[in-house]
Structure formats: C-alpha cells, structure tokens
Amino acid sequence: MNKIGIDLGGTKIEGILTDEKYIVIERKRIPTNQIDGYSSILESIKNLVLELTQESNEKFSIGVCTPGALSRVSGFIKNSNTQCLIGKDLKNDLEDILHYNISLENDANCFALAEAKLGAGQDHNLVFGVIMGTGVGGGIIIDGKIHHGRTNIAGEWGHHCLHVGGNNCYCGNKGCVETYISGPALEKNWHQLSGLNQSLPEITKNLDNSNFDTWKNIFLENFGLALANVVDILDPDVIVLGGGVSNIDFLYDQGKNAVYEKVFSDLIDTPIVKNKLGDSAGVFGACML
Ligand SMILES: [Zn+2]
C-alpha cells in the first residue's frame, strides 16, 4: 500500500506520497495559512492529499506529523508553535473531511522514527532521537516502533529539570533542559555574555571573541548533563541529533565527550550522530505511522 506523510509546520505544510519502501512518488509543499486559522489548515491538508493522490487509484495510508504534544486523555493538541491548533481534535476533524483513518504523532517522535528506519539510526534497536531547535524534544524508538509510555510523555527530555530553581520555562517549571540548550536559549546566553545579538550560526564563528570559550563550556556542560541523564536511564544504542542546534560540529566530539564524562559508567561508547534526513524526517516519519 502507498503511504502519504504530511508534515504540518509553522510556516509550511509538506506532503509526500511514497511506495511501501518509502520511495518518494510525489512531493508537494504549501505555506501554512495561520492567519485564517484552523479551518484553513484543515482545507489545505485536504487539498494536499487530493493533489498527491490524483494520479493514482491505489489505496494509501495517511500519517500526519504535528508540532506540539498530544494529550493522551483527549487526543487534542496540547501545546504548539502553531497556536490555532491548540485544543483542537485534529485527528477526528481530518478524518471527517478526508473520510480516511489518520495517524497523528508529534514531530519529535516522527523525527526519531524516520531516523531509526531510514536515517542515522538504522541497524540499531533502541534509538533516542533528539530535536534541538526552537524547542527541545525527543523520541524513543524500540525495534522500529515509537515508545509512548504510560503517560504518553516518553522521550520528552526537553522538560526534565537540569538545574533546580533554574531558568523559568513556559511549561511552568524551572530549570528545564529547553531553557539552556534550545537555539533561542543559546543565543540569549551569548547575548548576556558578549552583548551581541547574533544567530547561532554567527555565534559559532566567533572563535576569537574572549567570551566564546565561556559560552561554549556552559553549553557543553549542559548538553553533557542533559544527555548523560538519558543514557543512565535508557542506555540507547544510538543518539541521533536533529534541529538547528545539531548543525554545530563540536557536539560530535567535545559534546560527546562531555556526555561520556557524566555517565555512570567508565565504559561507554554510545554513538552520538547527526541526522541524515534533515528537514525531511517529519514527512517520512509521518508516512511510517
Ligand atoms: Zn519546561
């Protein structure tokens, strides 16, 4: 059976039609119309599905990758950068207009699933996929399947407490990982140290700036601690990094060493690797649901 994957992002909605082996047959991209709200997003997804399937009479499955977490109780979207989705029953509403069963999953789980099956996590049984971008999230894949956990929060390492009484987080807690190693958090820390307003790619070119080593050491300390906690509890076969922050090269040598130093074992060789699918992990993960 063919597969349709839809990645519902804050600025664009991407859709792919693939065969059973995830070979892409058709790919389309449209802007996300947040201004006209939820009903316009539903309509856009419907049109995307129609466009992707117009040349084919074959049956297909549909998976949708969404920003934000899904409530286990209601199935509704709990928090999302695409604000008009919050509190909406996207799965049922899409099923109503498409007359198809829809599988829905958050972006971190889709990322981890796609990387485990087609990307940098292939050939490993237990994959921990990490997204470090505007927010910080993660997903756990065991033997090719998403591990949701009893409370549906497995892998949500971005909101475990790194520093008691630390930075305020939008989630209501203090000291969450996300407030230290997300892209905006790293840029904020650089601004506090250097007075400069720079983007992450710009910051990493500041090798001659006297504040750079301080910024980098704080970053490595937090990155190391955050992932060492994951290794101590989950002990994955591989950790795959994604999101804008994953483009920083020193995470794969010095960052990895910072993790190793903090893990509760003197023998550790867990690979910490960069994603292979880039921005396409979301749509491929959606196809695999
Ligand atoms: Zn938080």
Report the 3 state secondary structure along the chain.
CEEEEEEECCCEEEEEEECCCCCEEEEEEEECCCCCCHHHHHHHHHHHHHHHHCCCCCCEEEEEEECCEECCCCCCEEECCCHHHCCCCHHHHHHHHHCCCEEEEEHHHHHHHHHHHHCCCCCCCEEEEEEECCCEEEEEEECCEECCCCCCCCCCHHHCECCCCCCECCCCCECECHHHHCHHHHHHHHHHHHCCCCCHHHHCCCCCCCCHHHHHHHHHHHHHHHHHHHHHHHCCCEEEEECHHHHCHHHHCHHHHHHHHHCCCCCCCCCEEECCCHHHHHHHHHHCC
**If you average pLDDT over residues 131-141, what whole number do you get?**
94
Q: How far is the CA of 146 from the centre of ligand 1 (A)?
A: 22
Q: Does the pLDDT of residue 68 top 90, yes or no?
A: no
Give mean pLDDT, residues 156-184. 94
> Measured in angstroms, how far is the CA atom of residue 112 from the centroid of ligand 1?
20
Mean pLDDT of 221-246: 97
Q: How many Å lie between the centroid of ligand 1 and the Cα of residue 171? A: 4
57 alpha carbon – ligand 1 mean position (Å)? 46
> How many CB atoms are closer than 10 A to CB 238?
21
Task: Say if residue 81's pLDDT is above 70.
Answer: no
Read off the pLDDT band of 79 (50, 70, 90): low
Look up residue 74 and give its two tokens.
Answer: 């209601």
Give 161 Cα–ligand 1 centroid separation in angstroms. 8
pLDDT at 10: 75
Cα atoms in the 13 Å half-sphere on the side-chain side of 73: 2
pTM of the model: 0.93
Rounded to the nearest angstrom, the distance between the alpha carbon of 203 and the centre of ligand 1 is: 25
What percentage of the chain carries pLDDT values higher than 90? Answer: 74
Angstrom CA distances, 185 to 31, 89, 219, 250, 286, stand at: 27, 31, 10, 18, 28
- Give 159 Cα–ligand 1 centroid separation in angstroms: 4
Mean pLDDT (whole number) for 55-68: 85
Instruction: Tell me how far the alpha carbon of residue 176 lies from the centroid of ligand 1, in angstroms.
Output: 5
Is residue 67 pLDDT above 90, yes or no?
no
Least confident among 1-10, 78-87, 221-230, 249-258: 78-87
Burial class (CB in 10 A: 0-12, 13-18, 19+), 233: exposed
pLDDT at 7: 94
The pLDDT, as a whole number, for residue 12 is 86
In the reported structure, the alpha carbon of residue 51 is separated from the centroid of ligand 1 by a whole-number distance in angstroms of 39
Give distance in angstroms: CA of 174 to centre of ligand 1.
7
63 CA distance to ligand 1 middle (Å): 27
The rounded radius of gyration (Å) of the Cα atoms in the chain is 19
240: CA distance to ligand 1 center in Å? 22
pLDDT at 231: 97
Q: How confident is the model at residue 274 (pLDDT cuts 50, 70, 90)?
A: very high
CA nearest 154: which of 145, 146, 165?
146
Q: What is the pLDDT of residue 77?
A: 74
Residue 69 has pLDDT above 80, yes or no: no
pLDDT at 184 over 70: yes
Ligand 1 centroid to 138 CA: how many Å? 13
Ligand 1 centroid–CA 259 distance in Å is: 21
Span from the CA of 14 to the centroid of ligand 1 (angstroms): 28
Ligand 1 centroid, distance to 23 Cα (angstroms): 37
- Residue 234 is predicted with a pLDDT of 97
Distance separating alpha carbons of residues 79 and 12, to the nearest angstrom: 18
Cα of 56 vs centre of ligand 1, distance in Å, is: 44
Give the pLDDT band (50/70/90) at residue 72: low
